[in-house]
């Protein structure tokens, strides 16, 4: 058995996939030139801005900026992870992947067996809820919670009977070995003796399903007050990880995408009751705080998240932690409050769906929620208390990656607390200097470029250069041998460019389609598709400079940025710009003792390049050059 699927096999599957037929299942496409166009399946629009390029095997929307290949489309629309999408497309294309591993140490056949035994266990527990000895208690609990028979069937709720080997014996009768059940988290090995026993006993069972409604694990609620642990989840394993799962994802996904809003609650019965009352975009985390993986999953589905956690202190703290994680993915976050002592299930039963929806509509912005919590914690009457409130909220603002949103948020926090924005940014600079990258602000102005701040400019310029290199691979090797990216702001666009250049250095030029197909990160695939689509538009515009000219300009600009950083380091080391009288030689003055020859030469080359650019500026625009150098003639 070999390791993970080789890239050439991934490329074969991607080339074999019919992207037009795949996307055509979700939106109507019409031929226009070499591409097909239609209404975007990811956002509402009246004029088609969604394009599909069958030759490149890519799609891109000029409206919402979503783009990618067959794998990213299946991730976005059907919630399939990369290997699940690869497997589905390989099956359709007749490509055998059985010899490759699904994950660490597991073949695809082994994963299939784990899925089969998990489905078997769900069916067993569902049957036991109706017929097993002792099942009257779980049925009575469901009736008391007013969970309907339809919901029990829809959510496949079951019962694990009291006893030690009920599931074990049932699975053995279906030819499943105990070792397979142990790997699936369904049984435990006996300590100090041979054999196994059932993990879940005398518990109400809630099957946890993945985005494709396949059972991957269980949540189990105790029915006896004597049990110390009220809720018990499946252990972490090849299929199940509570930090990567939602309860109700497959049932809520389409409603979330349609409304661009996800509602996150805490309990299984909260989710079930919300759907029973017709409030569909609701799902829950599994006994853990929201993780970065949860946030990434949500960002692929929607733009807004409403948290509906319990009104007690634990629930409010959990909401606070979740806000920080969600802001890292640039999601709009709101918090809905219910009556104290009431969870969503209780509230829906007491007040109905309309009242619950009204609570969601009246949810407060995350900043208002955190400001209220901070005031309750620190007070607001003294300067010290207000300072503590600001520190708490400023830490929250630093979680935001989007520069514009972060700037607006800091200004809003400062206004709420009566603090001057410059003072707010001064605090942030001190915070970032304790080990975080700098956040651009009024008192820390980054190097400006003609279109905005340096990091915003970098993203656009890097994306433009990427588009040239992916559409014209013959330029990749020369660019890879000359370009220095160290001085660019860290961002996903830079990560993507460095990935392409590093691959080119190892393997030679890479075709755009092959490069996008190799990207398992949907965000990187989206950016690469965007770069290609935008470059295709630029190439059709005769008024723009050629791809060759733009490519050269970006290389020079990025390398100059590195030289600027180098010269600054040299100046700090005591090496200043050599003074020079008119007509003097361009060689630098003698450097201080102890300076290396390489640094001197790098300094000389830097200033010579600057002078060359000045000469070009003087020739192209004499008036602008005179103004720049203080000559107003």
Cα distance between residue 286 and residue 264, in whole Å? 11
pLDDT recorded at residue 80: 75
218-227 long-range contacts (CB < 8 A, ≥24 apart) are 218/121, 218/122, 218/125, 218/185, 219/247, 219/268, 219/286, 219/287, 220/160, 221/268, 223/137, 223/138, 223/141
Distances (CA, A) of 490 to 54, 115, 436, 468, 481: 33, 40, 12, 21, 21
- Per-residue tokens: 334: 């709101």
- The verdict on residue 574 lying in a domain is no
* Shared domain check, 182 and 151: yes
Residues 399-412, mean pLDDT to the nearest whole number? 79
> Is residue 183 pLDDT above 50, yes or no?
yes
* Shared domain check, 129 and 76: no
Half-sphere exposure at residue 469, Cβ-oriented, CA atoms within 13 angstroms:
31
Q: Show which of 362, 397, 423 is a domain's final residue.
A: 362
- The verdict on residue 577 lying in a domain is no
* Shared domain check, 225 and 116: yes
Range of the domain at 490: 454-556
* Shared domain check, 521 and 490: yes
Residue 164: pLDDT band with limits 50, 70, 90 = very high
- The verdict on residue 578 lying in a domain is no
Q: What is the pLDDT of residues 443-453, one digit of tens each?
A: 333 333 333 34
pLDDT recorded at residue 432: 55
Lowest-confidence range among 86-90, 285-289, 314-318, 449-453? 449-453
Percent of the chain's residues with pLDDT above 70: 82
pLDDT recorded at residue 500: 92
Residue 350: pLDDT band with limits 50, 70, 90 = very high
Residue 569: pLDDT band with limits 50, 70, 90 = low
Query: Any bridge partners for residue 160, and if so which?
Result: 203
pLDDT recorded at residue 180: 94
* Shared domain check, 54 and 19: yes
- The CATH number of whichever domain residue 48 belongs to comes to 3.90.580.10
Cα distance between residue 542 and residue 327, in whole Å? 41
> Is residue 626 pLDDT above 70, yes or no?
no
Count CB neighbours of 434 within 10 A: 6
* Shared domain check, 132 and 223: yes
* Shared domain check, 460 and 543: yes
Lowest-confidence range among 96-100, 418-422, 555-559, 585-589? 585-589
Count CB neighbours of 164 within 10 A: 14
3-state secondary structure 279-339: CCCEEECCCCCCCHHHHHHHHHHCCEEEECCCCCHHHHHHHHHHHHHHHCCCCEEEECCCC
Most distant pair of Cα atoms in the chain: their distance = 103
Task: Look at 542 and 34; give whichever has higher pLDDT.
Answer: 34
- The CATH number of whichever domain residue 519 belongs to comes to 1.10.860.10
- pTM of this prediction? 0.63
For the chain, the average pLDDT equals 81
- Per-residue tokens: 559: 């390398």
Q: What is the pLDDT of residues 35-73, one digit of tens each?
A: 999 988 888 788 899 999 998 899 999 888 889 899 888
* Shared domain check, 515 and 487: yes
- The verdict on residue 571 lying in a domain is no
Q: What is the pLDDT of residues 458-479, one digit of tens each?
A: 678 888 899 999 999 999 988 9
* Shared domain check, 206 and 254: no
pLDDT recorded at residue 181: 95
Q: What is the pLDDT of residues 578-600, one digit of tens each?
A: 444 444 444 444 434 444 455 55
* Shared domain check, 189 and 155: yes
* Shared domain check, 420 and 346: no
517-522 long-range contacts (CB < 8 A, ≥24 apart) are 517/10, 517/11, 517/14, 517/57, 517/69, 517/71, 518/7, 518/10, 518/11, 520/71, 520/82, 522/68, 522/71, 522/72, 522/75, 522/76, 522/300
Question: Chain centroid to CA 261: how far?
Answer: 16
pLDDT recorded at residue 430: 65
140-149 long-range contacts (CB < 8 A, ≥24 apart) are 141/204, 141/223, 142/204, 145/269, 145/273, 145/345, 146/273, 146/349, 147/269, 147/272, 147/273, 147/276, 148/276
- The verdict on residue 356 lying in a domain is yes
Residue 394: pLDDT band with limits 50, 70, 90 = confident
Residue 125: pLDDT band with limits 50, 70, 90 = very high
Most confident of 6-15, 349-358, 545-554: 349-358
- The verdict on residue 500 lying in a domain is yes
- The verdict on residue 580 lying in a domain is no
Q: What is the pLDDT of residues 476-503, one digit of tens each?
A: 988 988 888 887 778 888 889 999 999 9
* Shared domain check, 488 and 407: no
For residue 249, with 0-12 CB atoms within 10 Å meaning exposed, 13-18 middle and 19 or more buried, which class applies?
buried
- The verdict on residue 241 lying in a domain is no
Lowest-confidence range among 188-202, 477-491, 538-552? 538-552
Task: Look at 24 and 103; give whichever has higher pLDDT.
Answer: 24
Q: How many domains does the chain have?
A: 6
Task: Look at 2 and 66; give whichever has higher pLDDT.
Answer: 66
Task: Look at 68 and 159; give whichever has higher pLDDT.
Answer: 159
pLDDT recorded at residue 583: 41
Residues 393-404, mean pLDDT to the nearest whole number? 76
Q: Show which of 311, 336, 362 is a domain's final residue.
A: 362
> Is residue 571 pLDDT above 50, yes or no?
yes
Cα distance between residue 216 and residue 207, in whole Å? 8
> Is residue 574 pLDDT above 80, yes or no?
no
pLDDT recorded at residue 136: 94
pLDDT recorded at residue 606: 58
């Amino acid at each position: 058995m070999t390791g993970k699927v080789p890239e050439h096999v991934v490329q074969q599957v991607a080339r074999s996939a019919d992207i037009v037929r795949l996307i055509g299942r979700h939106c109507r496409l019409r031929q226009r030139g070499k591409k097909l166009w239609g209404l975007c399946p990811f956002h509402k629009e009246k004029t088609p801005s969604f394009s599909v390029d069958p030759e490149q095997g890519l799609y891109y929307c000029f409206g919402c900026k979503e783009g990618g290949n067959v794998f990213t489309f299946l991730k976005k629309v059907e919630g399939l992870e990369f290997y699940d999408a690869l497997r589905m497309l390989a099956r359709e294309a007749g490509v055998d992947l059985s010899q490759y591993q699904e994950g660490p140490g597991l073949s695809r056949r082994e994963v299939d067996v784990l899925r089969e035994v998990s489905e078997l266990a769900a069916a067993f527990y569902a049957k036991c809820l109706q017929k097993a000895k002792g099942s009257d208690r779980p049925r009575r609990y469901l009736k008391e919670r007013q969970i309907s028979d339809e919901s029990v069937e829809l959510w496949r709720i079951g019962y694990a009977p009291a006893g030690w080997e009920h599931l074990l014996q049932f699975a053995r009768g279906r030819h499943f070995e105990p070792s397979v059940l142990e790997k699936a988290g369904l049984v435990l090995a006996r300590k100090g003796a041979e054999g196994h026993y059932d993990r879940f006993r005398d518990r109400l069972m809630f099957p946890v399903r993945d985005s494709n409604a396949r059972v991957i694990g269980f949540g189990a609620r105790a029915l006896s007050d004597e049990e110390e642990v009220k809720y018990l989840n499946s252990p972490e394993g090849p299929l199940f990880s509570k930090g990567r799962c939602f309860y109700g994802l497959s049932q809520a996904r389409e409603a979330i995408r349609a409304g661009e809003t996800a509602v996150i609650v805490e309990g299984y019965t909260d989710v079930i009751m919300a759907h029973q009352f017709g409030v569909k975009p609701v799902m829950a985390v599994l006994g853990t705080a929201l993780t970065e993986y949860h946030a990434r999953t949500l960002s692929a589905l929607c733009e807004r998240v409403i948290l509906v956690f319990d009104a007690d202190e634990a629930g409010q703290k959990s909401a606070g932690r979740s806000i920080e994680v969600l802001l890292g993915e640039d999601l709009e976050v709101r918090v809905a409050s219910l009556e104290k002592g009431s969870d969503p299930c209780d509230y829906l039963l007491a007040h109905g769906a309309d009242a619950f929806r009204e609570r969601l509509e009246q949810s407060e912005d995350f900043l208002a929620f955190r400001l209220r919590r901070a005031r309750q914690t620190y007070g607001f009457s003294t300067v010290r208390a207000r300072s503590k409130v600001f520190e708490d909220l400023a830490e929250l603002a630093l979680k935001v990656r989007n520069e514009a949103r972060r700037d607006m948020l800091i200004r809003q926090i400062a206004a709420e607390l009566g603090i001057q924005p410059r003072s707010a940014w001064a605090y942030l600079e001190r915070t970032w200097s304790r080990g975080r990258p700098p956040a651009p602000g009024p008192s820390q102005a980054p190097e400006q470029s003609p279109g905005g701040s340096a990091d915003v400019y970098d993203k656009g310029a890097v994306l433009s250069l990427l588009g040239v290199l992916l559409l014209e691979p013959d330029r990749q090797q020369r660019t890879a041998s000359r370009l220095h990216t160290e001085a660019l702001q860290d961002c996903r666009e830079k990560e993507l460019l460095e990935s392409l250049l590093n691959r080119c250095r190892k393997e030679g030029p890479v075709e755009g389609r092959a490069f996008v197909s190799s990207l398992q990160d949907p965000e990187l695939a989206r950016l690469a598709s965007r770069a290609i689509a935008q470059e295709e538009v630029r190439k059709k515009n005769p008024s723009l400079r050629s791809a060759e000219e733009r490519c050269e300009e970006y290389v020079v600009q990025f390398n100059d940025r590195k030289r600027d950083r180098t010269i600054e380091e040299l100046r700090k080391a005591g090496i200043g710009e050599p003074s020079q009288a008119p007509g003097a030689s361009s060689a630098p003055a003698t450097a201080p003792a102890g300076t290396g020859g390489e640094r001197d030469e790098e300094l000389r080359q830097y200033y010579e390049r600057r002078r060359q650019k000045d000469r070009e500026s003087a020739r192209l625009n004499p008036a602008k050059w005179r103004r720049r150098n203080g000559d107003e003639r």
